């Protein structure tokens, strides 16, 4: 069959099962857009308003479904606008394939109009990238790109396709043979010795704790994790991206660890005699000062990426492998056990946290961010897919919206990309059309990508947007309050009227200023098909507690004082 | 075992890589991004046209050689990585050293120093001479120090290449695939 390079691109996307792509046209990618016209009944193209949005949508789609998300852009500025989204996906191991147009081969290197060295620019923020130089390579490259993106430790892959290759024709046969890459062999399972070493530690620990991360969900090891925890009686603490790895209402799930994690979890990590780290990577946001990190514990680390083992934290047993496979190997040897005293100790710490919890002590009248999130949890039955932006509201979501199901809390953890939440929520909804999807965003981050309101309207995407408006870059303001003597340089914001703004896009909107409107606001959002925006006007100077200051010891948290205690007490 | 001596924090890695454009760039970018300390990096062809071989000497004071190797292995175009300095191996560095020979004393001194090393004078004139040496890195370094007082005016080194001793063979059976769908274009690949 004689096909153009552009048609081959789409034939290959269809073979990969792609039904929706997020993109923006331009000169160097126009032949492919013409092919999208031809295939418009097979692949739906979502026109975004900024290519960054396309990359986050592909990412949100990927995180929600576990499938590869696809975004597409033209050369030069189109491609460079994808970079933030690629870096975001890279840091959080999210599988996306980005296709960019490039100037014709003959013009490469001549500083042609809209020419950028896109493979050069994106090299450090992609798992792999390609510049296609021959139409006969095109189908293989696309097949490899999808394979690389979704296998092993997933990540973004970019394919740069010169315009003349998109126009060229060849007699096309789809390459049915499986991808074979000599230098790419994601590790499979553990050796017998690894299994024995791990069991020795697991079966003899007195104060063990499991640190569960994103990898649990990527590998589909939720059941195995739960079995391990239940059989050996080991409490589980979650990373930010690990939320959903274990139901948060499970009696052994003790909460989130790290900078804004539950103090109980951080104390437990510091006190433990065994850390079992599963599909997490000891990011500085969860370890604090590495020199004093969990000083008395032996450590087991399982991760699909061998370069993560012993990178930040030295471990006794390091296993590079697929978590579900490894846990299945380990489970038969795990002895039935319980650690009532240890779990009781953690419960006591949790109780102390409850006594400090603002939800249990607040006497003011202003609406709190914590209340908004907790009520969203309550009125959505804890069953929504929430997609957050970055800042205080993100940490509040992590603290006050417990999730029961995997991949229902999507957030930019590694890169902390403001502007991620809203477009990623659109992508998630495309992937999971039958789920209730809420974008939970701050007033700052929302303004970075709010142009996608137009996309949401054009596509009639049925999502709910909760803007937590504190008129501040709240998280930065919090740092300024703690560490810069309340010098609020460049954090107060004069904001647009978000309700009017939404209405200008044709989006129903509501402003909420007090807690008794919370139930109504959720009902309002649910009653509208298509995008809805709710602005929650919240307390301006709320603080997210506890907080491990950057670089501090994990147990040296700034805690919220108990009623009657003095402000600023640390424990 | 290591030719670098017991107290050295240097390690030598060998990488077999696909002979494709941009691979060197990926390796260089990795080292810069991960803040690995590279002493030298050489790349050249092997007896197989589709495989190139890199020898990389890294300072492993901050990062272990295993972490460096694991990161290299993550690059898709890198087929295999081996920390050759963990086992008996041969390593060689080649240097061309241009020294001053504009009087009798300096000329005699150069000849005398070269006699003590596996070095040759490959070019000599009334002003300068070029000394060539191919040897282990520390011997090359020692020669350079001995020539320095005479007056080095130009110097170039290839960087270390290395190979494991004995039957420990670093090779790959990878052959580039013959691609059915690309039949019309095969001639472009010389297939
Ligand atoms: C693109 C980007 N720029 C800057 C930052 C630094 N930053 C982290 S949180 C934050 C404030 C976010 O403010 P807002 O979106 O209003 O959320 P809030 O903290 O008030 O809930 C900033 C500026 C970032 N994470 N990402
Ligand atoms: Mg804000």
| Position A337 in a domain | yes
Q: Which atom of ligand 1 is nearest to the CA of A391?
A: 19
Cis before A546? omega within 30: yes
A254 shares a domain with A394: no
A42 is catalytic: no
pTM exceeds 0.90 for this model: yes
First-last CA distance in chain A: 71
**More confidently predicted of A126 and A182:** A126
- CATH code of residue A323: 3.40.50.1220
- CATH code of residue A511: 3.40.50.970
Q: Which atom of ligand 1 is nearest to the CA of A478?
A: 19
Q: Mind listing the pLDDT tens digit for each residue in A53-98?
A: 999 999 999 999 999 999 999 999 999 999 999 999 999 999 999 9
Section A295-301 average pLDDT = 98
Of A317, A349, A381, the domain-final residue: A349
DSSP secondary structure of chain B? --TT-TT--EEEEEEEEE--TTHHHHHHHHHHHTT-EEEEEEEEE-SSTTEEEEEEEEE-SSS-HHHHHHHHHHSTTEEEEEEGGGS-EEEEEEEEEEEE-SSHHHHHHHHHHHHTTTEEEEEE-SSEEEEEEEE-HHHHHHHHHHHHHHHEEEEEE---EEEESTT--------PPP-GGGGGGGGGGT-
Of A137, A171, A205, the domain-final residue: A171
A372 shares a domain with A338: no
CA distance A207 to A275: 9
The mean pLDDT of chain B is 90
A113 is catalytic: yes
**How many domains are there within chain A?**
3
A328 shares a domain with A218: yes
Q: Do A175 and B179 touch (CB under 8 A)?
A: yes
**pLDDT at residue B6, as a whole number:** 44
Section A203-211 average pLDDT = 98
A262 shares a domain with A136: no
Q: Do A311 and B67 touch (CB under 8 A)?
A: yes
Section A483-512 average pLDDT = 98
Q: Where would I find the H helices in A188-304?
A: 192-204, 214-219, 222-232, 263-271, 284-287
Contacts of A174 in chain B (CB under 8 A): 181
**pLDDT at residue A166, as a whole number:** 98
| Position A569 in a domain | no
User: In this structure, are residues A72 and A54 in contact, taking their beta carbons and an 8 Å threshold?
Assistant: yes
A163 is catalytic: yes
**pLDDT at residue B119, as a whole number:** 97
Q: Ligand 1 pocket, A397 CB below 6 A?
A: no
Our mutation pick for probing the ligand 1 site, out of A259, A424, A475, A538, counting the most ligand atoms within 8 A of Cβ, is A475
User: In this structure, are residues B61 and B7 in contact, taking their beta carbons and an 8 Å threshold?
Assistant: no
**pLDDT at residue B8, as a whole number:** 67
Ligand nearest to the backbone CA of A393: 1
Contacts of A306 in chain B (CB under 8 A): 70, 73
The values of phi and psi at residue A184, to 5°, are -135, 100
In percent, the amount of chain A with pLDDT more than 70 equals: 99
- Which residue in the list A51, A248, A397, A452 is annotated as catalytic? A51
| Position A558 in a domain | no
Q: Ligand 1 pocket, A389 CB below 6 A?
A: yes
First-last CA distance in chain B: 44
Q: Mind listing the pLDDT tens digit for each residue in B16-65?
A: 999 998 999 999 999 999 999 999 999 999 999 999 999 999 998 888 99
Section B138-156 average pLDDT = 98
Which domains can be identified in chain B, with CATH numbers? 10-88 (3.30.70.260), 90-161 (3.30.70.1150)
Q: Mind listing the pLDDT tens digit for each residue in A519-549?
A: 999 999 999 999 999 999 999 999 999 999 9
Q: Ligand 1 pocket, A470 CB below 6 A?
A: yes
| Position A186 in a domain | no
- Whether A569 has a pLDDT exceeding 70, the answer reads no
**pLDDT at residue B62, as a whole number:** 82
Q: Which of A170, A306, A311 sits opposite B184 (nearest CB)?
A: A170
Output the residue whose Cα is nearest ligand 1's atom 16.
Answer: A444
**pLDDT at residue A540, as a whole number:** 98
A395 shares a domain with A261: no
- Whether B191 has a pLDDT exceeding 50, the answer reads no
CA distance A327 to A407: 20
**pLDDT at residue A571, as a whole number:** 47
A496 shares a domain with A372: yes
Q: Mind listing the pLDDT tens digit for each residue in A358-407?
A: 999 999 999 999 999 999 999 999 999 999 999 999 999 999 999 999 99
A218 shares a domain with A147: no
Q: Ligand 1 pocket, A418 CB below 6 A?
A: yes
Contacts of B25 in chain A (CB under 8 A): 120, 123
A565 pLDDT band, cuts 50/70/90, is confident
Q: Do A140 and B179 touch (CB under 8 A)?
A: yes
A12 pLDDT band, cuts 50/70/90, is very high
| Position A52 in a domain | yes
**pLDDT at residue B178, as a whole number:** 72
Q: Looking at chain B, which residue has its C-alpha nearest residue A124? A: B29
| Position A225 in a domain | yes
A235 shares a domain with A94: no
Cα(A538) to centroid(ligand 1), Å: 16
Our mutation pick for probing the ligand 1 site, out of A91, A422, A439, A445, counting the most ligand atoms within 8 A of Cβ, is A445
Q: Mind listing the pLDDT tens digit for each residue in B2-24?
A: 444 445 689 999 999 999 989 99
In percent, the amount of chain A with pLDDT more than 90 equals: 98
Q: Do B74 and A305 touch (CB under 8 A)?
A: yes
Cα(A492) to centroid(ligand 2), Å: 9
**C-alpha distance from residue A64 to each of A7, A245, A331, A428, B176 (Å):** 28, 13, 28, 5, 36
DSSP secondary structure of B50-66? TEEEEEEEEE-SSS-HH
Q: Do B75 and A306 touch (CB under 8 A)?
A: no
**pLDDT at residue A568, as a whole number:** 55
* CA A306 to the chain's CA centroid: 21
A213 shares a domain with A142: no
- Whether B189 has a pLDDT exceeding 70, the answer reads no
CA distance B150 to B167: 43
**C-alpha distance from residue A516 to each of A365, A378, A417, A524 (Å):** 11, 13, 32, 14
- Alpha carbon of B182: minimum distance to chain A alpha carbons (Å): 5
Query: What is the ipTM metric for this complex?
Result: 0.91
A308 shares a domain with A411: no
A91 is catalytic: no
Q: Ligand 1 pocket, A85 CB below 6 A?
A: no
B162 pLDDT band, cuts 50/70/90, is very high
- Which residue in the list A127, A163, A207, A298 is annotated as catalytic? A163
Is beta strand A509-512 parallel, antiparallel or unpaired with respect to A208-212? unpaired
A332 shares a domain with A196: yes
**pLDDT at residue B4, as a whole number:** 47
Kindly state the helix (H) or strand (E) to which residue A534 belongs, with its residue range.
strand A532-537
Cα(A537) to centroid(ligand 2), Å: 10
- What range defines the domain where residue A9 resides? 2-171
- Whether A116 has a pLDDT exceeding 90, the answer reads yes
* CA A543 to the chain's CA centroid: 23
**pLDDT at residue A567, as a whole number:** 67
The mean pLDDT of chain A is 97
Contacts of B79 in chain A (CB under 8 A): 182-183
| Position A46 in a domain | yes
Output the residue whose Cα is nearest ligand 1's atom 20.
Answer: A474
Q: Which of A124, A140, A183 sits opposite B29 (nearest CB)?
A: A124
| Position A357 in a domain | no
Of A318, A349, A380, the domain-final residue: A349
CA distance B7 to B10: 9
A235 shares a domain with A199: yes
A500 is catalytic: no
**C-alpha distance from residue B160 to each of A96, B49, B90, B140 (Å):** 39, 22, 10, 11
């Amino acid at each position: 069959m004689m096909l153009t390079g552009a048609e081959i691109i789409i034939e290959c996307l269809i073979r990969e099962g792609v039904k929706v792509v997020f993109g923006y046209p331009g000169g160097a990618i126009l032949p492919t857009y013409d092919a999208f016209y031809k295939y418009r009944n097979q692949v739906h193209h979502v026109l975004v308003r900024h290519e960054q949005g396309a990359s986050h949508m592909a990412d949100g789609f990927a995180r929600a479904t576990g499938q590869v998300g696809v975004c597409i852009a033209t050369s030069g500025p189109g491609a460079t606008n994808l970079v933030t989204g690629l870096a975001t996906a890279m840091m959080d191991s999210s599988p996306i394939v980005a296709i960019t147009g490039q100037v014709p081969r003959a013009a490469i290197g001549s500083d042609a109009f809209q020419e950028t060295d896109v493979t050069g620019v994106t090299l450090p923020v992609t798992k792999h990238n390609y510049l296609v130089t021959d139409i006969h390579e095109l189908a293989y490259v696309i097949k490899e790109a999808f394979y690389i993106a979704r296998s092993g430790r997933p990540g973004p892959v970019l394919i740069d396709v010169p315009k003349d290759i998109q126009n060229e024709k060849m007699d096309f046969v789809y390459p049915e043979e499986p991808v074979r890459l000599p230098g790419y062999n994601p590790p499979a399972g553990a050796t017998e010795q690894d299994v024995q070493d791990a069991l020795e530690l697991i079966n003899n620990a007195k104060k063990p704790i499991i640190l569960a991360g994103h990898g649990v969900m990527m590998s589909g090891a939720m059941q195995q994790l739960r079995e391990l925890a239940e059989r050996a009686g080991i409490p589980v603490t979650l990373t930010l991206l690990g939320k959903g790895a274990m139901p948060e209402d499970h009696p052994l799930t003790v909460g989130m660890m790290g900078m804004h994690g539950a103090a109980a979890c951080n104390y437990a990590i510091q006190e433990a005699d065994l850390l079992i780290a599963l599909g997490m990577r000891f990011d500085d946001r969860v370890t604090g000062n590495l020199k004093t990190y969990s000083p008395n514990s032996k450590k087991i680390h399982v991760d699909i990426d061998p370069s993560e083992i012993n990178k930040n934290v030295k471990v006794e047993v390091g296993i590079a492998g697929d978590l579900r496979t490894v846990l299945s190997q380990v489970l038969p040897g795990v002895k039935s056990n319980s650690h009532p005293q240890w779990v009781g100790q953690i419960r006591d710490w949790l109780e102390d946290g409850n006594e400090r919890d603002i939800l249990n002590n607040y006497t003011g009248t202003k609406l709190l961010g914590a209340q908004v999130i907790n009520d969203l949890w309550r009125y959505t039955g804890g069953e929504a897919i929430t997609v957050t932006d970055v800042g205080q509201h993100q940490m509040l979501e992590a603290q006050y919206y417990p999730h029961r199901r995997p991949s229902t809390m999507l957030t930019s953890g590694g890169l902390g990309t403001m502007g991620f939440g809203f477009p990623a929520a659109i992508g998630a909804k495309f992937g999971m059309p039958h789920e209730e999807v809420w974008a939970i965003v701050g007033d700052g981050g929302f303004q970075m990508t709010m142009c996608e309101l137009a996309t949401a309207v054009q596509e009639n995407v049925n999502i709910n947007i909760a803007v937590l408006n504190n008129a501040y870059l709240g998280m930065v303001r919090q740092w300024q309050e703690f560490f810069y003597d309340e010098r609020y340089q460049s954090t107060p914001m004069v904001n647009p009227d978000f309700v009017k703004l939404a209405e200008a896009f044709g989006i129903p909107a509501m402003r909420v200023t007090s807690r008794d409107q919370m139930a109504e606001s959720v009902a309002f959002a649910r009653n509208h098909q298509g995008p809805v925006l709710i602005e929650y006007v919240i307390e301006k100077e709320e603080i997210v507690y506890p907080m491990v200051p950057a670089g501090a010891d994990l147990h040296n948290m700034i805690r919220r004082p108990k009623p009657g205690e003095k402000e600023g007490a640390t424990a | 075992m290591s030719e670098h001596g017991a107290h050295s924090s240097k390690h030598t890695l060998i990488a077999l890589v696909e002979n494709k454009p941009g691979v060197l760039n990926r390796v260089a970018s990795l080292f810069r991004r991960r803040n690995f300390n590279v002493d030298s990096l050489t790349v050249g062809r092997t007896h197989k046209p589709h495989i190139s071989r890199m020898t990389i000497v890294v300072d492993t004071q901050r990062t272990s050689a295993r972490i460096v190797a694991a990161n290299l292995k993550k690059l898709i175009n890198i087929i295999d990585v081996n920390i050759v300095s963990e086992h008996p191996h041969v390593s060689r560095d080649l240097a061309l050293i241009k020294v001053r020979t504009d009087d009798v004393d300096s000329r005699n001194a150069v000849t005398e120093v070269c006699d003590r090393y596996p070095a040759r004078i490959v070019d000599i004139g009334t002003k300068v001479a070029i000394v060539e040496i191919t040897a282990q890195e520390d011997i090359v370094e020692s020669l350079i120090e001995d020539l320095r007082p005479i007056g080095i005016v130009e110097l170039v080194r290839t960087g270390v290449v290395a190979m494991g001793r004995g039957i420990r063979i670093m090779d790959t059976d990878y052959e580039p695939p013959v691609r059915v769908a690309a039949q019309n274009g095969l001639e472009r690949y010389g297939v």
